[in-house]
């Protein structure tokens, strides 16, 4: 199952067409669309609206889902029309940060995304700006593992392209122009969601580690993310031997060992 959220109907239209979604619950407070194992909700603008929409949509679904927020964002460095997957989300109003984990290979562009309470006309280098992600992300993480919650933004404005010049046709065209990227990411997330319903590689090791060592909730998520990434990047690695489960170790030390092995696997090009 995959759940899309967008802020605007114009952002949603290319997704509705591509996935052949039909509107349901016409009397609901949000516009909701459904297709084959896919839902979409149009939240309206703003972080609070986005968080509310996530909760409302989850109440309409009868199974867990992966979550993907798709929409436009401003950026000083990227060209209009480029797509960016958020690897950091910052709430400009509250100062909180989130780091969506990446447990799948991704060859596209990624970067930092800042959620602001109102449109911006100034852009700091290296950051994209939207108005929903800081509401969407923590809300969706209440219903799914963090690696199943992602934000994909299409650059719509910057120092040379004002957001005030955008209309609904321009927004729809921007999203339509990146549908190949959306479809690729949707397929990845749907596959990960299906796998999460069953045993995943290293799941038995994950349970064994938790029985032997005390982890905080945040550390448990890190542990799961590291083990899943190692299953992809270094499938032949003997992870249990690598972290020496025979002796007493702290959660921090185990995580550091896994991080070191992940770094080596990445440098080796993902070979065991």
Mean pLDDT of the chain: 88
Q: Band of the pLDDT at 272, cuts 50, 70, 90?
A: very low
Please write down the HEC assignment for all residues of 38-78: EEEEECCCCHHHHHHHHHHHHHHCCCCCEEEEEEEEEECCC
Across 225-244, b (16+ Cβ under 10 Å) vs e yields bbbbbbbebbeebebeeebe
Say what the pLDDT of residue 210 is: 83
pLDDT at 265 over 90: no
The rounded radius of gyration (Å) of the Cα atoms in the chain is 19
pLDDT at 54 over 90: yes
pLDDT tens-digit series, residues 107-162? 899 999 999 999 888 888 889 999 999 999 999 998 888 889 999 999 999 998 88
Report the alpha-carbon distance of residue 47 to residue 136 in Å, rounded: 7
Query: How do 97-98 and 31-35 pair as beta strands?
Result: unpaired
Please report, for residues 8, 25, 47, 215, 261, the alpha-carbon distance to residue 13 in angstroms, rounded to integers and kept in the order given.
9, 17, 21, 43, 43
Using DSSP's 3-state secondary structure scheme, residue 6 falls into strand
**H/E segment holding residue 249:** none
pLDDT tens-digit series, residues 57-93? 999 998 889 999 999 999 999 999 999 999 999 999 9
Could you tell me the pTM of the whole model? 0.75
- Return phi, psi of residue 74, to 5°: -95, 150
**What proportion of the chain, given as a percentage, has pLDDT over 90?**
56
Categorise residue 81: left if φ over 0, alpha if ψ from -120 to 50, beta otherwise. left
pLDDT at 220 over 70: yes
pLDDT at 48 over 50: yes
Average pLDDT on 182-186 reads: 96
Judge contact between 70 and 174, C-beta under 8 A. no
Judge contact between 7 and 132, C-beta under 8 A. yes
pLDDT tens-digit series, residues 126-139? 899 999 999 999 99
């Amino acid at each position: 199952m995959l759940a899309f959220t967008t802020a605007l109907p114009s952002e949603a239209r290319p997704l509705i067409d591509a996935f052949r979604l039909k509107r349901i619950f016409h009397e609901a407070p949000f516009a909701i669309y459904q297709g084959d194992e896919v839902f979409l909700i149009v939240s309206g603008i703003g972080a609070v609206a986005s968080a509310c929409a996530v909760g409302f949509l989850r109440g309409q679904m009868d199974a867990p889902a992966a979550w993907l927020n798709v929409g436009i964002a401003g950026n000083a460095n990227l060209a209009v029309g480029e797509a960016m997957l958020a690897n950091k989300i910052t709430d400009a109003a509250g100062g909180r940060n989130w780091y969506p984990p990446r447990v799948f290979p991704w060859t596209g562009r990624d970067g930092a995304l800042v959620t602001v309470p109102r449109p911006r006309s100034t852009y700091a280098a290296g950051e994209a700006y939207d108005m929903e992600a800081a509401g969407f992300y923590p809300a969706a993480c209440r219903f799914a593992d963090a690696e199943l919650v992602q934000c994909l933004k299409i650059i719509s404005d910057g120092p040379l392209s004002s957001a005030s010049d955008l209309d609904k046709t321009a927004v729809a065209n921007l999203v339509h122009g990146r549908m190949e990227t959306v479809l690729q990411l949707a397929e990845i997330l749907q596959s990960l969601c299906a796998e999460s319903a069953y045993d995943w590689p290293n799941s038995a090791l994950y349970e064994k580690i938790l029985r032997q060592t005390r982890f905080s909730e945040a550390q448990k998520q890190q542990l799961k993310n590291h083990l899943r990434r190692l299953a992809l990047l270094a499938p032949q690695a003997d992870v249990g031997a690598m972290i020496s489960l025979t002796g007493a170790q702290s959660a921090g030390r185990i995580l550091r060992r896994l991080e070191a092995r992940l770094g080596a696997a990445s440098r080796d090009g993902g070979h065991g």
